[in-house]
Every structure is written in structure tokens, then in C-alpha cells.
Structure 1
Amino acid sequence: MKYTIKSEKTVFDDHYKMIKAEVEYETFSGKSIETNKLAFERGDSVAILLFEKESNSILLTNQFRYPTCKNNSGWLLEIPAGSLEKNENPEDCVKREVMEELGYAIENPKQISIFYNSPGASTERAFLFYAEVSKQDKTGEGGGLSTENEDIQLVKINISEIKTRLSQFKDAKTILALQWFLLNKI
């Protein structure tokens, strides 16, 4: 099946961009549809599920997330994550993010998935990784970058609690990563 992007223009450009496109695409019945679509462009991201061997725990971040305030939340438990810089390798990015957020130095993260967070609205792809760490790998302070106004708390959850607590998580990448862990590591 074919599609044509007839035009694209930026309709919002601040920290992120919103693009409006005129597109034409074939339907499953063989006809075609012409329509306007919007796409939120925020760039690609990385995320990682970290397992600390000595404590038998998953390492999570607890941080303020403004968009969740609409639903009276504010703070979310999540796996470490962040945005790829221009021309940055996803593996290098995930290593940088783990050090910034939790203070752990990681080696050889294993990529377990690449997925779209919200394909009906956003161009963002997420590169999901897994790594095992030791307490000795905690070589940095963590807590996020003050230049980005981050205030991140490290939270350890024993793997014995994952199944019973899974429904309490509200972040899709974290739920996906924990389900992967349950299927592949336990």
C-alpha cells in the first residue's frame, strides 16, 4: 500500500514541535483518502530496566511529571529514561541517562525492544534496554541534572513484589519493561 505526504508545515515550535501534514494514502479496499494529520515531534528516547543483583531489586526513578497532574498524580515511578541528543547513539544515551538519574555506571546494555509511544500522535520511538548492575556500579550521585530542574529519587523494588505491584504503575514503558522481565528473567 502506498502513501504520499503532499505537504508539511510546523504549526508549533517551542521545546517540542507540532507538524501539520496533508497526506494521501491507499485504503484496504483500494481507494484513497486525502486528509490532514498532526504529529508531535519530540525526538526519540531511551529507557532501561535495571536489575541490581545484590539487592535482588529493580531500580526505578520517582520524579515529578507535570502532564500527570491533570489526573491528580504528579509523581511517577518509572524506569530511567531520557531523550536522545542529535546524532547520539541510543546505547550511549542510555548510559548517560542512568548516570544522571541514578548514579550507576552501566556496561553493555541489552536492547530488548524499539516501539512507538503513541503512534497516532507522536513520531517518537523508544529504545528499550535491560542491564544488570552491582552496588559497586553506583559511582555517581544521580538525582538528575539541576540545569534541567530535575529532582529524581532512586527507588528499589524487590523482584518478589513485581507481580503484585504491576497494576500500580502508570507509565507504559515501565509496565512493558516489567512484563518483559517477568516473562524472560523470572
Structure 2
Amino acid sequence: MSPSVSAPTLAPAPAVRIIDTELLSNNWYRLSKVTFDFQRRDGSWQRLSREAYDRGNGATLLLFNARRGTVILTRQFRLPTFVNGNANGMLIEACAGLLDGAEPEACIRREVQEETGFQIESPRKIFEAYMSPGSVTEKLHFFMAEYESHQQTGEGGGLAHEGEDIEVLELPLATALAMVQSGEIQDGKTIMLLQHAALQGLAGLRV
């Protein structure tokens, strides 16, 4: 018999008092410097300052075909990766976008249509996650959806007036997972979705 494992006992959530919020930039999204008092676990208080970048929340989705064992990904230029060592700035990703006031499911339906040309049915939400909680406020809503070829009603490619030039890729799941291992896929949200698909098995992801 396996030994029972109990959940760890967590310390009470710390008390936080916001002292000041200074807007540093509002050019694209909001960058703020927040000064706050933080109560440590021993009960003492410490004053800290942190910068927080607020670009809103977002949604991401992995399109999969269980019968064929394939997934749909995109490839596009990402400037922050280019200035941080990605030689050509191109990144292979799952579809994603900011909510911009919409509900997560409505957002991801829109983004999938714009980026890949697919009109999806019954996207299934699997979890939520903060992607860079040390500095960015964004929370991502993660979805999966099955696709068939006839659901691709357009070419995709994104919105040219927003600077998007997106290539649509159809890959076997096994190939995509191998590309994670080789470093050809380095996008965090995409790796999470591919690993979820591998753990569950594509047939197990069907709604």
C-alpha cells in the first residue's frame, strides 16, 4: 500500500498595505512602480518597491486532431525574443491573444480565426496560470479544441494593420514535443499546452 501524502500546511497569507503607486509609462500598456508594506511570516513589516507591467489578461488555445495525431501552431516574429538572443526573432506558439474586455472563450475564438483561419467549436478550458508573476500582471486562460480540415474557412495570418505576419503550422504532436526537447519551441504557454496534450493523450482531450 502506498503511503498517504497529506497536503502541506501553508502559512497564512501575508498582510499587504499599498503605500504609493507611480505610473512610469502608459505608452503601450501600463508600467507602474508600487511601494508597499509587506508583513513577513515572523510578523515583522518590511517596505518594498516593485515594478508591475499591466497588459491585461489573455487566452491561449491548442488546436488538435485526435484522429490524425496532429496539432496546429503558429510562427511569428517576437521582438523581445530577438533582443534576448533569439537569432531571427521567430517563435513557434499556440494561438493566443489579449482579452481586451471580452470573455476568455470569445477572445480565443476570435484569435484562432484571425491567426489560423479555423472556426472552432466547443473550446474546452483546462486551467489558468500567471505566466511571469515577478513583474507582469497577466493571467492566461488555457483552452483546447479539436479541429478538422473543413473548419479552416480562411488563410489566417493575423491582422496586417497590427503588424502580424503569422505562418500556420500543422505538426504531429510527437514532432512538436521533440521540438520542445531540441529547443525549436521555446514559448512557455505552448510547452504547457503540448505537455498537457501528451499527458492526457489526444483522444482523452475530446469534449
TM-score (norm 2): 0.85
Name the residue aligned to 1:74.
Answer: 89
Partner Cα separation in structure 2 for residue 89 and residue 35 of structure 1: 34
Give the Cα–Cα distance (whole angstroms) in 2 for the partners of residues 29 and 73 of structure 1. 48
| Cα offset, 1:52, TM superposition | 2.8
Structure with more strand by fraction: 1
Deviations for 1:5-49, whole angstroms, at most 9, x for unmatched residues? 122121111111101111111111211111111101111111101
Query: CA RMSD of the aligned region, Å?
Result: 1.3
Q: Any idea what the Cα deviations from partners look like across 1:140-165, whole Å, max 9, x if unmatched?
A: 22100012111000011112324422
2:59 is equivalent to residue 43 of structure 1: no
Alpha-carbon distance between aligned partners in 1 of 2:132 and 2:44, rounded to the nearest angstrom: 26
State the alpha-carbon separation in 2 of the partners of residues 3 and 107 from structure 1. Answer: 43
CA contact (8 A) 1:54 1:135 kept: no
Moved over 3 A (4+): none
Are 1:96 and 2:110 counterparts?
yes
Instruction: For structure 1, list consecutive stretches of 5 or more residues without a partner in the other structure.
Output: none
* Contact kept? 1:54, 1:134, Cα under 8 Å: no
Match of 2:199 in 1: 183
Larger Rg: 2
In structure 2, distance between residues paired with 1:151 and 1:54: 29
Identity of aligned residues (%): 34
Residues matched between the structures, number: 185
Tell me how far apart the structure 2 counterparts of residues 182 and 62 of structure 1 sit (CA, whole Å). Answer: 21
1:59 aligns with 2:75: no
